[in-house]
A and B are shown apart, each in its own frame.
Chain A
Amino acid sequence: MRPALLMFLYALAVAWYSPALLARLSATGMSARLALAAWLTAIASVLTSLAVALQQLVAAAAAGWHLLAEAFCQSVTGRACAPPVYRSAIIELPLAGAALIAALTTAVLAWRCGRSVQRAQQLAHAHGAAALITGRRLPAASGTVVLDVRQPAAYCVPGRPATIVLTSGALALLEPEQLAAVIAHEKAHLAGSHHLLVAVTRGLSAVLPGVPLFTRAPAEVTRLTEMLADDQAARRSGRPALIAALLALGTGAPVPSRALAAAAGDVTARVQRLLQPASPSPRARNRLALAAVTVLLAATPGLLTWLAA
Chain B
Amino acid sequence: MRGFGELESVIMHMVWDRGTPVTVRELFDELSQERSIAYTTVMSTMDNLHRKGWLDRAKEGKAYLYTPTASREEYSARLMREALAVGGDTEAVLSHFVAEIGDPESEVLRSVVRRLAARRPE
Chain A interfacial positions (CB closer than 8 Å to B): 119-121, 123-124, 127, 129-137, 139, 142-143, 147-149, 151, 153-158, 160-161, 165, 167, 182, 185-186, 189, 194-195, 198-199, 202, 222, 225-226, 229, 245-251, 253, 255-256, 258-263, 267
Contact = CB atoms under 8 A, between A and B. Distances in A.
Interface stretch (B4-12, B24-32, B57-65): B4-12
A-B complex: 7 closest residue pairs judged by Cβ atoms: A262-B121, A154-B97, A124-B93, A134-B75, A155-B96, A147-B76, A120-B93
Interface in B65-98: 72-73, 75-77, 79-80, 82-84, 89-90, 92-98
12 contacts: A120-B89, A121-B93, A129-B5, A132-B4, A133-B5, A142-B3, A149-B77, A153-B84, A154-B96, A155-B96, A251-B110, A253-B113
* Main secondary structure on B side of the interface with A: helix
Interface in B105-120: 106, 109-110, 112-113, 116-117, 119-120
A15 to B, nearest CB: 21
Nearest to A161: B4
Given A129-B5, A133-B5, A124 B75 contact: no
Contacts of A222: 95
A127 B79 contact: yes
B38 interface: no
Contact of B95 (A147, A156, A250, A263): A156
Contacts of B106: 250-251
Nearest to B75: A134
B122 interface: yes
